[in-house]
Structure 1
Amino acid sequence: MVKGIGVVVIGRNEGLRLERCLASLAGRADKVVYVDSGSTDGSPARAAALGVEVLALDMTLPFTAARARNEGFACLQKHLPSVRHVQFVDGDCEVNADWLAKAQVFLDAHPQVAVVCGRRRERFPQHSVYNLLCDLEWDTPLGEAKACGGDALMRVDAFVAVAGYRPELIAGEEPELCVRLRAAGWKVWRLGAEMTLHDAAMTRFGQWWRRSLRAGYAYAEGASLHGAPPERHWLRESRRAWLWGLGIPLSIVLVSMLLGPWWLLLLLIYPLQAARLARRGGRSARENWLQAVFLVLGKFPEMFGQVKFWLNKFAAGKPVLIEYK
């Protein structure tokens, strides 16, 4: 067992995935808290049977993953006041047996680092194109990073100092937290060590579309919060969504209406952009092309996500979770 580490797992109706997640943590931390957000598949009972502390969220209040993590952390601190490091894990992930020990050693050796994450992989990348795309997405550069994902080991003192996650964010809460940590002088680091196996369970185009729409929403909200210099958080991603998802196609259609249908040939800029991105890839030809095509195509749902955010903001609408499974 790694001393001084607590784990917060969040989930809803994860079934066997949750069992794998909790089993992978058995005997590896001082305390594990499972935060359930209204499961109907018996997840709380399954977690309790494995000896895990279960916290059932009050679902009459607006739910976000950020709120679930914050409340799980508060529960963890209550039961384990001596906790120094907290591992946040999504309930559809299995934690590598060596990860917690390696990550804690790194934090102990690097006092300026507040967050350390490792290699997240898809459990079944061969089951669908969309699972494979997730696996490619998780393969990010090693070393000092700007942000982490939902799975990461954090220094408790740093997490508390910035008041944890913003509970109102419906997406993109981890990078936003990292923005505030880095502004406070902390660093975020990504190791090459295996960290988690993730089960996206995406088999339909509609799931991929909603996940991309959620990303666009997160980009818009992140840019709204921290888009000003020097951070410029997700400003480039937001501008690309507007340019490729709306600006270019709308301009081409308007020009073709004024000057003739032959101007629609300018839409070939999209396959040309995909070809350019595919040539820059460092994987197999199939993976390079798949990632390139969906990166280009993804600008359309990302643009709709941007629109959704700004409509909510200006119309004082209530943010609603954008879920893909």
Structure 2
Amino acid sequence: MRRLAGLLVVPLLLLTAACGGDDKGSDSTSSSAASGGLPAITAGAKFGEKPTLAKGTGNPPKDLKVDVISKGNGAEVKKGDAVSVNYLGQTWVSTKPFDNSYDRKAPFSLTVGAGDVIKGWDQGLEGQKVGSRVEMVIPPSLGYGTQAQGAIPANSTLVFVVDIVKSTQIPTSAKGKEVPQTDASLPKVSTNTDGKAPTVTVPKSAAPTKLVSNYVLESDGAKITDKDNVVLNYVGLLWKDGKKFDSTYDLGKTQTFAMQQLTVKGLKAGLVGKKVGSRVLLVIPPDQAFGDKAQTGIPAKSTLVFAIDILAVM
């Protein structure tokens, strides 16, 4: 199936990519050198500052190493939580970062334990507290292994400094007031709230030529803006034959989208203004989807149908 996440501009970190709030770091100052032989932070030592790192010395550790540089006072990060972090990464043998979020001036969002990122991140972040700065040394087996990735050579040990900005527990399903689905010319979406994929029945009629964005379940959450990072569960189908081309439920994990990076015009337009916690039906005509360009599993000039649970905003 075509993963819509592949259409985002994403950091290198991605493999393809009510807990705490906006807690700040603790009052303690980060140490200039990590313990246990991890590379020292040579500048930008405090939580929230862009750090610089020394090169690793000697042979890198063979196992994941995590050092808490400064401990925050926020909620503990659990598997399945959506977190926002700032980070800088470089290889053990270099002082030149291969990626960082500080220069982008926007935290990076992921769901812990969902396999969105390299395994070392999923393992290293779980159990840490919001507001903490941690340094992680990740062996190749928990990083990119034998595959080179851009400026990262094959079999590289990776070093990251990570500031944990926010963590949010993700509900299993949208919930809210059921909105009557009275238009027989539109797909009908089930209203189950058991965490399983909603069923979508596409009518055997002509597809609409304009974007449709309707509530199926309407919550009382805040409205999505075009600057939010949203955590979604969704099913995507073709209007023509009702064939499924994408589903987060089939993969067993949610997907986080940065609204500013969405390239599917109708998907962005259909979500902005909708309330967090709701289930939404989107019908996207070709001129707001992929037009006359075919995608994997999506023929050219296809009308797309989505049932989307808006689970959280990061």
TM-score (norm. length: structure 2): 0.26
TM-score (norm. length: structure 1): 0.25
Bigger strand share: 2
